[in-house]
Amino acid sequence: MNAPVRIAPAPALERTLFAVPGMRCAACISKLESGLAPVAGVISARVNFTARCVAVDHLPELTTKDIQAAIGAIGFDAEAISDADALTDNGESRALMRATAVAGFAAMNIMLLSVSIWSGAEAGTRDLFHLLSGIIAIPTVTYSGRPFFRSAWAAVRRGRTNMDVPISIGVVLVTALSLFETLTGGAHAYFDGAVMLLFFLLVGRMLDSVMRDRARGGVAALLKQTATGARVANPDGSTIWIAAEALVPGQLMIVPAGERLAADGVVESGSSGLDLSLLTGESAPCRVSAGAHVHAGTLNLDSPLTVRVMAAGPDTAIADIARLMEHAGQGRSRYVRIADRAARWYAPAVHTLAIMAFAGWMLAGAGWHEALLIAAAVLIITCPCALGLAVPAAQIVAAGALMRRGVLIKDGSALERLAEADRLLFDKTGTLTLGRPEPVDLERLPHAVRPAALALAQASKHPLSAALRRALEADGARPAALTDLVEEPGFGMRGRWDAVPVSLGRPAQATAGEMAVAFVSDDAPPVVVHFRDALRPDAAATVHRLQGLGLECSIVSGDRAAAALPVVRALELTAQTGMRPQDKIDAIARLAGAGRRVLMVGDGLNDGPALAAAHVSMAPASASDVGQAAADVVFLGDSLAPVATAILAARRTMQVVRQNFAIAIAYNVLAVPLALAGMVTPLVAAIAMSGSSIIVVGNALRLRGAAR
Amino acid sequence: MTGLTLLIPLALVLGLCGLAAFFWALRSGQFDDMDGAALRILIEDEEPK
């Protein structure tokens, strides 16, 4: 309709996907699509807003870097992503959607036929309608039932049982018996029940899968953060570009300002500030000079460095963290969802009941045919239709409510685990604090010189410049027009403001660990503005509220004790400091060993393994990609309050889930005696099944306000 | 009764058409970008001259 798609006759086209996290609105979509279309070599560009990415079809001559630059010129940061972790990889959801559509279609048609049977169609007409129902139902069961059959078979093969075992046995048995009834001209065929059951269960399954699809990424996001390669100096003085995987220890990388390091190494020459926030979560830049050890993934801020590669590719510190995370995440996959825990006793109970019904009626003198029919009725009436919907319906409603409050839940099991948490570990930087420097004494900067300071700050990418720019812009300052703007490596920005030399840079006497910039105008004494990483505005109130909810809180920080002290004092929490990623995992393992269920709230790459290892984890949206990928829950905004909101909502969700279980059990208590007595006709089964499903979904809808 | 022999197959065929249309939509990627579809309606087709 409105996407500028041009059909090109050119044969060999390449398609490259770019992640563009910065797009927010319709204008961004149209800007990207119409901005890329005129670029020479680009055949078409299509934005996928849900996935925040753009797919570009282009001629092979056009390189990824060219397109990235073109997107940059439009005003967005783009990152090429490989097709392997492409977001369209939601095959499971899609298969479920197809199965649900088929089951829904079949259920409607069979129900039409069934209604006329219930209204009194007899003899030839009834047999014809049964036959038609069978013709629709059997292919449907074969196709739409596959997700259940597959999962049931996988469980049975390993000697276990899950919810899908009684479902599969019930559906197959009922379909087979109904077919027999139809062919022998019997009065009751349960094709409608079998297909409707599949439809309701598939809806539950689909809700669950859609929720899971919203989040993907994992470790792929982590390795994306390292540079794709580096310029390497040859002994003869020439330089060549080498991809990150092909770097070998001993090579000399030349890292210009503004680029990420592609490998671990030792600085040979040059001195610069490095942004380590990816690795440590620390916002203040770290100064390095010759002899310093530096890590892949860190960002070189202000001047070129020559680095001798010590470890590349899979041997880098960042790859180590990736492995640690992968390993830590394995424990969580052993978590058994509440529905499957319920199935552990539910499935055997149902099977015993059905067998007892069969045996009882055989003993009572009924024929095997009648006894089998009653056993099948028991299976279909006890089939966990409401149970299958009870959990996903409640979870998706709660997740929707939380999403409107800026809390994104990645899957249903995250809500279950969140409700169980009874111990809370906070990371400090970026989690309890905002993770970005905020000026403390901005009033020292006279209003008269603010336009010049803003113009200087705008020209630099340094984190303190960015912080100063944000603060000044929020204060209503407008940038002045400067001339001769230059970035002086290792110092800061210089320029001329109406022939007066001005500069913004490192203060002359900077104490270690202190964040400050000095503004100098002509010969006037420098104005020094200090920065600090401020606490989130409602951190103290939220911590109190969390303690009121029965969660014991403490801090685990990678920072030095001295740096953590102000936060510890302000929040009256205990803290463990100087912790490496492995130490955090160990701390979580100790607590888990003592039977606590740990909620980890953290943001940095260094928290990634801990986030993956904890029983459940949360990360702010300002977190590194890794933190967001590893966490179960991501919350938006500067406030810490969503942590408490999410826990409360999760607990309420589990309450509703338990209510739904109680409703389902109550329904069974009523319906099972009827089934055992042989009084369940297809009509009764259909009413009971849809009735209980509607009640369960209705109960789940009460959670719409859960996040208030 | 004779009407049924025509009407029932007809109803089924029409239903199958709907199902086929849904599958086609799914396959051609119309459900890939639900949020984007909601926003695209706001995009101006022709740039103001």
Same domain, A184 and A63: no
Distances (CA, A) of A694 to A16, A120, A400, A423, A665: 45, 27, 19, 37, 15
E strand spans, A423-551? 423-426, 433-439, 483-488, 492-497, 500-505, 515-521, 527-535
Candidate ranges A11-25, A307-321, A440-454; pick with highest mean pLDDT: A440-454
Same domain, A128 and A187: yes
Picking from A219, A215, A430, the residue whose alpha carbon sits closest to that of residue A318 is A219
Q: Which residues of B touch A50 (CB under 8 A)?
A: 32-36
Residue B47 lies in a domain: no
Residue A335 lies in a domain: no
pLDDT in tens, A249-272: 888 888 877 777 878 888 888 888
Cα–Cα–Cα angle for A273, A276, A277, rounded to 5 degrees: 125
CB contact under 8 A, A132 and B8: yes
Picking from A160, A167, A212, the residue whose alpha carbon sits closest to that of residue A333 is A212
Residue of B nearest to A90 (CA): B32
Residue A350 burial (10 A CB sphere; 0-12, 13-18, 19+): buried
Residues A333 and A615: beta-carbon distance below 8 Å: no
pLDDT in tens, A564-593: 788 888 888 888 888 877 888 888 889 988
Q: Does residue A63 register a pLDDT over 70?
A: yes
- The reported pLDDT for the residue numbered A160 is 75
Local confidence band at A143 (pLDDT 50, 70, 90 cut-offs): very high
Mean pLDDT, chain B, as a whole number?
Answer: 80
pLDDT in tens, A26-37: 888 888 888 888
Residue A253 lies in a domain: yes
- Residue ranges making up the domain that contains B22: 2-40
Residues A406 and A642: beta-carbon distance below 8 Å: yes
pLDDT in tens, A539-549: 888 888 989 88
- The reported pLDDT for the residue numbered A218 is 37
In this structure, the dihedral spanned by the alpha carbons of residues A376, A380, A382 and A383, taken in order and rounded to 10 degrees, is 130
Residues A169-176, mean pLDDT to the nearest whole number: 86
CB contact under 8 A, A3 and B40: yes
Q: Half-sphere exposure (CA, 13 Å, Cβ side) for A444?
A: 17
pLDDT in tens, A446-462: 888 888 888 888 777 67
Radius of gyration of chain A measured on its C-alpha atoms: 31
Residue A496 lies in a domain: yes
Residue B24 lies in a domain: yes
Local confidence band at A512 (pLDDT 50, 70, 90 cut-offs): low
Same domain, A285 and A369: no
Residue A137 lies in a domain: yes
Specify the range with the lowest mean pLDDT, choosing from A175-184, A273-282, A425-434, A548-557: A273-282
Question: For helices A368-382 and A338-363, what crossing angle results, to 10°?
Answer: 160
Phi-psi region of A185 (alpha: psi -120 to 50; beta: other; left: phi over 0): left
A427 counts as catalytic = yes
- The reported pLDDT for the residue numbered A330 is 61
Q: Which residues of B touch A101 (CB under 8 A)?
A: 19, 22-23, 26
Could you give the CA distance from residue A627 to residue A218 in angstroms, rounded to a whole number? 9
Residues A669-687, mean pLDDT to the nearest whole number: 81
Local confidence band at B20 (pLDDT 50, 70, 90 cut-offs): very high
Number of domains in chain A: 5
Candidate ranges A145-159, A212-226, A611-625, B23-37; pick with highest mean pLDDT: A145-159
Residue A610 lies in a domain: yes
At residue A10, φ and ψ (nearest 5 deg) are: -55, 135
- The reported pLDDT for the residue numbered A1 is 45
Q: What is the CATH number of the domain that holds A612?
A: 3.40.50.1000
Could you give the CA distance from residue A521 to residue A502 in angstroms, rounded to a whole number? 4
Question: Global pTM?
Answer: 0.71
CB contact under 8 A, B31 and A125: no
Same domain, A541 and A401: yes
Residue A197 lies in a domain: yes
Picking from A492, A444, A489, the residue whose alpha carbon sits closest to that of residue A466 is A492
Same domain, A467 and A417: no
Specify the range with the lowest mean pLDDT, choosing from A24-38, A91-105, A169-183, A202-216: A202-216
Residue of A nearest to B9 (CA): A132
Mean pLDDT, chain A, as a whole number?
Answer: 80
Residues A320-343, mean pLDDT to the nearest whole number: 69
Could you give the CA distance from residue A299 to residue A305 in angstroms, rounded to a whole number? 11
Picking from A107, A130, A108, A119, the residue whose alpha carbon sits closest to that of residue A187 is A130
Residue carrying structure tokens 């000399």:
A252
**Is the ipTM beyond the 0.95 threshold?**
no
How many angstroms separate the first and last alpha carbons of chain A?
A: 39
**Which tokens is A477 given?**
């300052």
Same domain, A606 and A620: yes
Same domain, A567 and A646: yes
Residue carrying structure tokens 């909620």:
A599
Same domain, A371 and A463: no
Q: Does residue A86 register a pLDDT over 70?
A: no
**Which tokens is A500 given?**
């007066």
Pairing of strands A483-488, A252-255: unpaired
Residues A463 and A298: beta-carbon distance below 8 Å: no
Instruction: Label each residue of A81-100 as H, E or C.
Output: ECHHHCCCCCHHHHHHHHHH
How many angstroms separate the first and last alpha carbons of chain B?
A: 65
- Residue ranges making up the domain that contains A399: 394-434+536-651
Could you give the CA distance from residue A299 to residue A309 in angstroms, rounded to a whole number? 16
Residues A87-113, mean pLDDT to the nearest whole number: 81
- The reported pLDDT for the residue numbered A290 is 81
Same domain, A507 and A540: no
Same domain, A105 and A155: yes
**Residues within 8 A of B (CB atoms), A 20-39 only:** 25-27, 29-30, 34
- The reported pLDDT for the residue numbered A122 is 76
**More confident of the two residues A108 and A227:** A108
Q: Which residues of A touch B16 (CB under 8 A)?
A: 105
DSSP A556-606: E-SS-HHHHHHHHHHHT-EEE-S--HHHHHHHHHHHHHTT--EEEE--SGG
Q: Does residue A217 register a pLDDT over 50?
A: no
Residue B48 lies in a domain: no
The catalytically annotated residue of A208, A264, A411, A427 is A427
Local confidence band at A140 (pLDDT 50, 70, 90 cut-offs): very high
Number of helices (H), then strands (E), belonging to chain A: the values are: 23, 26
Residue B11 lies in a domain: yes
Strand, coil or helix: A644: helix
Could you give the CA distance from residue A440 to residue A399 in angstroms, rounded to a whole number? 38
Residues A270 and A303: beta-carbon distance below 8 Å: yes
**Residues within 8 A of A (CB atoms), B 13-42 only:** 15-16, 18-19, 22-23, 26, 31-36, 39-42
Local confidence band at A222 (pLDDT 50, 70, 90 cut-offs): very low
CB contact under 8 A, B23 and A125: no
Residues A328 and A612: beta-carbon distance below 8 Å: yes
Residues A323-336, mean pLDDT to the nearest whole number: 66
- The reported pLDDT for the residue numbered A82 is 53
Pairing of strands A299-300, A272-275: antiparallel
Q: Does residue A142 register a pLDDT over 90?
A: yes
Q: Does B3 touch chain A (CB under 8 A)?
A: no
Same domain, A430 and A568: yes
- The single-letter DSSP state of residue A448 is G
Same domain, A134 and A205: yes
pLDDT in tens, A364-396: 887 887 888 888 788 777 766 667 777 888 888
Q: Which residues contact A389 (CB under 8 A, 6 or more apart)?
A: A200, A201, A203, A204, A693, A696, A697
Of A510, A534, A558, which residue is a domain's last? A534
- The reported pLDDT for the residue numbered A102 is 92
Q: Which residues of A touch B4 (CB under 8 A)?
A: 128
Distances (CA, A) of A614 to A141, A610, A627: 40, 6, 13
Kind plus residue range of the DSSP H or E element containing A310: strand A305-311
Residue A337 lies in a domain: no
